[in-house]
Amino acid sequence: MSEATSIATQAASAQAGELSVVGKITRISGPIVYAEGLGSCGLYDVVDVGDAALIGEIIRLKNGIATIQVYEDDTGMRVGEKAVCHRRPLSVRLGPGLVGTIYDGIQRPLESLFALSGAFLLPGERSEPLDNAKKWRFVPGVAAGSAIGPGKPIGTVRETESIEHSVMIPPAIRGRTVASVAPEGDYTVNDEIARTELGEPVYLAHYWPVRKPRPTSRKLAVSEPLITGQRVIDVFFPLSKGGTAAIPGGFGTGKTMTQHAVAKWCDADLIVYIGCGERGNEMTDVLSEFPELIDPRTGRSLMERTILIANTSNMPVAAREVSLYSGITLAEYYRDMGLDVAIMADSTSRWAEALRELSGRMEEMPAEEGFPAYLPTRLAEFYERAGRVVSLSGQEGSVSIIGAVSPPGGDFSEPVTQHTKRFIRCFWALDRDLANARHYPAIGWIESYSEYAEEIKPWWDKVDPRWNDVRLHALELLKREQRLQQIVRLIGPDALPDTERIILVVAEMIKNGFLQQSAFDDVDMFSVPEKQIMILAMIMSFYRRSSAIIRNGAPLAKIVALSSREEVVRIKTTFDNADLSGILAVETRMNAQLDELERLYRKVETI
């Protein structure tokens, strides 16, 4: 029997004391505890530490001494208290009831714990991750005698109005046919709903180790963008479904705001939001806002397709380290159902700081800036669990990861940012000057990049074939504008010819009319791909025609004075996503005014 297969059995046996190994605490160093008598246990086995039975995990075994990281506050613990190892890896329970729930890093439901102990959790406080009493309507999808395999769906449960939950054979069960299937009806997560010909029971829920990636049939190349409704992302620096992105930025540059916007509006089927070491008020905003938000695709609450993991900065540091693994495991579970899942990790820097603190407690040799030498390995283990895959049952699904990075002082040369860049293909660098100017999203167009543009180009070609050309031309114009600004700061704009000053004018149009986007404007907060390209293509058309007219002798003042120029900048807030005809009307007026100038300043050929 494999490790994953036996988790549920081991869990039950451990509660009965059949597999438990009892040791004794010999040393305590903050969240790191040392215990003797656990030499027969395995690495990453779960341990109940101390008389309060705090949840911990073995992270090192040496000379019969187990090093345990404790995921709860161990204040008051004493040397000599017992440590009980259950000989099973730290796991999460997967089944209906996950969506819409708020967990901490070790899958304790915070709302249930609040009802038990109030705002401050008591040491050793436990609650079931899934409601054992709630009944779910199970609709079987196979009959007795049907062929099955790992990951094969055998029925469905309507988890929320937005999510239909596939009940799958756990990946490690090896039975080939179904001996019996429960009829359609209401069942709890502990009720047996099927049994294989080998006698293996199947329940609505099962356990899975958080550090072990769920198996897939094969990985696929990315080919479709994750549409976020944010123009600077979708057009300039797109992320694919199954891709990885990082949002680095100093304090106050809008990392959390950008992740909130992506979580609210992206076209993923499910959102897993991990608040890892962030301030409590930021998680409070998420917890209060998300239930009130309406999903634009379904018209229902956004929480019906969201799982929240809250590990604020005042919670035990060790739980911060495991919260990312818990979140990615939940995402992989829904990916196996054929869903597109997006993970927001805010922030991986706090997670890396937890690694640094735990490493220091274990007296390991530090590397750059005190971080452990295995920091790049841990980052790779996390980001490489993203991807677009074919699941064991043959369904296509994806996990996209968007990780915020909080470099001290906004220094992108620090280790977490640099190592993260090795494992991601989309880099949304937040710019302090843009944030200070209240230009949001404050994603800088000079340092940011996306390596997915070529792979998703066929998708965009079907939406609007102009996407790649206007994108590249606009980025090139913004780079030229940056170089010209250096001259302007030295000698002023009047020293530039009108053929170059028009670049400054159009760059401002791109910044104000396209890149800047208000999360509080009902029209501007979300922009469909068609509208995005129409706006940018119109601005670039304005630039091309204006440049030609200036070369024919027209002064820049005539171009700037055109009323249609302001209309183009205001399109983003004037016309909603359904009113594309209004945008075309603005383009018609713009071309008419440019035609008039062109006739006025057209050069006459000398015969």
pLDDT tens column, 14-49 = 443 447 899 999 999 999 999 999 988 999 999 999
- pLDDT > 80? residue 7: no
Strands 153-158 and 164-168: antiparallel
Q: What spatial distance separates the first Cα and last Cα of the chain, rounded to whole Å?
A: 93
Residues of the chain with pLDDT > 90: what percent? 73
Return the pLDDT at 6. 42
**Close Cβ partners of 293 (under 8 Å, ≥ 6 residues apart):** 264, 301, 302
In terms of CATH architecture, what is 218-422?
3-Layer(aba) Sandwich (3.40)
- pLDDT > 90? residue 56: yes
State the average pLDDT over residues 178-191. Answer: 95
Confidence of residue 324 (pLDDT cuts 50, 70, 90): very high
Q: Give the Cβ contact number of residue 393 at 10 Å.
A: 20
Return the pLDDT at 283. 74
Confidence of residue 116 (pLDDT cuts 50, 70, 90): confident
Q: What is the pLDDT of residues 364-421, one digit of tens each?
A: 999 999 999 999 999 999 999 999 999 998 999 999 999 999 998 889 999 999 999 9
What backbone torsions phi and psi does residue 509 show, to the nearest 5 degrees?
Answer: -65, -40
State the average pLDDT over residues 350-375. Answer: 91
Q: What is the pLDDT of residues 231-266, one digit of tens each?
A: 999 999 999 999 999 999 988 898 888 988 898 889
- pLDDT > 70? residue 3: no
Nearest residue to 430 via CA among 447, 413, 417, 416: 447
Return the pLDDT at 446. 93
Q: How many residues are listed for the chain in this entry?
A: 607
Q: What is the pLDDT of residues 134-153, one digit of tens each?
A: 999 999 999 999 998 889 99
**Close Cβ partners of 147 (under 8 Å, ≥ 6 residues apart):** 176, 177
Q: What fold characterizes domain 7-91?
A: Elongation Factor Tu (Ef-tu); domain 3 (2.40.30)
Q: What is the pLDDT of residues 157-166, one digit of tens each?
A: 999 988 999 9
Return the pLDDT at 172. 82
Q: What is the pLDDT of residues 549-575, one digit of tens each?
A: 999 989 999 999 999 999 999 999 999
Helix (H) or strand (E) holding 157: strand 153-158
- pLDDT > 50? residue 12: no
Confidence of residue 13 (pLDDT cuts 50, 70, 90): very low
- pLDDT > 60? residue 109: yes
Q: How many angstroms separate the CA atoms of 335 and 389, rounded? A: 8
With the C-alpha atoms ordered 82, 88, 91, 97, is the resulting torsion angle positive or negative? negative
Nearest residue to 386 via CA among 267, 243, 270, 272: 243
What's the chain's average pLDDT? 90
Class in CATH terms, 467-600? mainly alpha
Please give the structure tokens belonging to residue 223. Answer: 């080919």
- 200-209, 264-273, 307-316: segment of lowest average pLDDT: 307-316
Do 202 and 5 meet the contact criterion of CB atoms below 8 Å apart? no
State the average pLDDT over residues 343-356. Answer: 91
Q: Any idea where the domains of the chain sit in the sequence? A: 7-91, 136-205, 218-422, 467-600
Q: Rg for the chain (alpha carbons), in Å?
A: 28
Judged by DSSP in three states, 390 sits in strand
Return the pLDDT at 16. 38
Judged by DSSP in three states, 344 sits in strand
Q: How many angstroms separate the CA atoms of 82 and 37, rounded? A: 10
What backbone torsions phi and psi does residue 328 show, to the nearest 5 degrees?
Answer: -70, -30
State the average pLDDT over residues 298-302. Answer: 79
- pLDDT > 60? residue 433: yes
Pick the CATH number of 136-205 from 1.10.10.60, 3.30.465.10, 2.40.50.100, 3.40.50.300: 2.40.50.100
